[in-house]
């Protein structure tokens, strides 16, 4: 009998890491681009598409009118990856809001708030406001004289929510096999707090759970509202998994899973099913689903006669684990946080 790869090695039989590069394709197919190294926190893409070395198009740097239209928010950010704009559901077009509707005479100028949040330089932020790319409390603002209360205003740039509360923290943890998804364990098993190191003073929530045998991406934060929304089924935030099972796999399994399979607690199904790689006796599959039910991926594969040998979560909503080292914790970039907030309509 062919032995399955050892969990500590992080590699399948072909010598590849199924969490980051199965068959040399997964990272590229998932649209991750060149992932950042967790230890260095380097941005996964050097600025936005069409950006020059300074993170903005050459036209913007030369001062041409409207040239900031291609400048991406957080284009020079050190942490996380460039995820681009958030494409939110279209709403009926309305004229820009009257400045009096959102203006707070005792507040801070909108462009200064944006620059302090790391969006771009103040000059580029001013261009973004003029171009109608900035919303305050759900309305487009184009007046550079608007002042806002940063403690209460909800600001979006290209659909990306700005988190202005500096007390909020957001981390990505690449959970190893054998670690339980709790901060403390009465049985003395390895748990999340064992990996927090100098962050042990922070009160953190883990967003959802991974069973002890499952590896991969787990999000940690002290943002209770975001935690509640990301785990609530009504928001249907997708999660991506790599699943290694015994092979070969009969045709039609993917279609069966997408149509729905009756489990003991009701029908469950995947949003997508893709064969990634196969070696003698083993098959590697990528599935995406938004269900948060307990051990649902394992139960789905059990139901079709392919018990899971290894399971790795590679993506939660817009956040990818990439090539982050197993057992490490990294700070999410501000753009990543903005995409997470926008994914649950915050």
Residue identified by tokens 């997708």 is 238
What distance separates the 2 farthest-apart alpha carbons in the chain? 74
- What's this model's pTM, rounded to 2 decimal places? 0.74
pLDDT at residue 101 in the model: 76
For domain 58-77+95-158, the CATH superfamily is: RNA-binding S4 domain (3.10.290.10)
Distance CA 343, CA 345 (A): 6
Where residue 61 falls among pLDDT bands split at 50, 70, 90? very low
DSSP state letters, 180-247 = BSSS--TT---BGGGGTGGGTTS--EEES---TT-EEEEEEES-HHHHHHHHSGGG---EEEEEEEES
Task: Answer positive or negative: Cα dihedral of 313, 314, 320, 324.
Answer: positive
Judged against a pLDDT cut of 70, whether residue 222 lies above it is answered with yes
**E strand or H helix that includes residue 298:** helix 296-303
For domain 170-343, the CATH superfamily is: Pseudouridine synthase (3.30.2350.10)
Distance CA 81, CA 42 (A): 8
Per-domain residue ranges of the chain = 58-77+95-158, 170-343
Query: Do the first three CATH levels of 58-77+95-158 and 170-343 match, i.e. the same topology?
Result: no
Residues with active-site annotation: 211
pLDDT at residue 20 in the model: 44
Q: How far is CA 186 from the centre of its chain?
A: 31
Q: Are 155 and 113 in contact (CB under 8 A)?
A: yes
Beta strands in 104-148 (DSSP E): 108-109, 134-136, 139-140, 147-148
- Give the side-chain half-sphere CA count within 13 A for 345: 6
Stronger pLDDT, 325 or 93, i.e. the higher one: 325
pLDDT, tens only, 63-102: 444 445 567 888 766 555 667 667 654 444 455 555 557 8
Which residues lie closer than 8 Å to 180 by C-beta, 6 or more apart? 189, 190, 191, 192, 212
Question: Would you call 332 exposed, middle or buried from its count of C-beta atoms within 10 A (0-12, 13-18, 19+)?
Answer: buried
pLDDT, tens only, 110-165: 999 999 999 999 999 999 999 999 999 989 999 999 999 999 999 999 999 999 99
- The CA–CA distances, whole Å, from 56 to 35, 72, 220, 296 equal 21, 7, 31, 44
pLDDT at residue 87 in the model: 61
């Amino acid at each position: 009998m062919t032995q399955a790869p050892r969990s500590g090695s992080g590699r399948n039989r072909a010598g590849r890491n199924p969490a980051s590069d199965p068959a040399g394709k997964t990272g590229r197919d998932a649209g991750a681009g060149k992932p950042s190294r967790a230890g260095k926190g380097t941005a996964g893409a050097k600025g936005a598409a069409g950006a020059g070395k300074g993170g903005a198009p050459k036209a913007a740097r030369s001062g041409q009118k409207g040239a900031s239209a291609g400048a991406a928010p957080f284009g020079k950010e050190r942490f996380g990856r460039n995820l681009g704009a958030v494409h939110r559901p279209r709403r009926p077009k309305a004229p820009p809001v009257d400045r009096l509707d959102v203006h707070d005479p005792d507040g801070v100028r909108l462009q200064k708030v944006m620059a302090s949040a790391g969006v771009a330089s103040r000059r580029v932020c001013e261009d973004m406001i003029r171009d109608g790319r900035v919303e305050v409390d759900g309305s487009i603002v184009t007046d550079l004289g608007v002042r806002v209360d940063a403690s209460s205003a909800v600001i979006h740039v290209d659909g990306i929510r700005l988190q202005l509360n500096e007390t909020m923290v957001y981390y990505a943890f690449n959970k190893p096999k054998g670690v339980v998804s709790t901060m403390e364990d009465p049985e003395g098993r390895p748990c999340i707090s064992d990996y927090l190191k100098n962050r042990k003073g922070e009160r953190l929530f883990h967003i959802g759970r991974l069973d002890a045998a499952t590896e991969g991406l787990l999000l940690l934060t002290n943002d209770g509202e975001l935690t509640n929304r990301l785990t609530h089924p009504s928001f249907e935030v997708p999660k991506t998994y790599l699943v290694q099972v015994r092979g070969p796999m009969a045709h039609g399994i993917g279609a069966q899973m997408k149509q729905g399979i009756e489990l003991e607690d009701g029908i469950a199904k995947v949003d997508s099913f893709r064969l990634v790689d196969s070696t003698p006796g083993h098959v590697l599959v990528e599935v995406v689903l938004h269900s948060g039910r307990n051990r649902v991926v394992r139960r789905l594969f059990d139901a079709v006669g392919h018990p899971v040998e290894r399971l790795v979560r590679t993506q939660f909503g817009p956040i990818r684990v990439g090539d982050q080292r197993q057992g490490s914790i990294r700070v999410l970039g501000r753009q990543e946080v903005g995409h997470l907030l926008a994914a649950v309509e915050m």
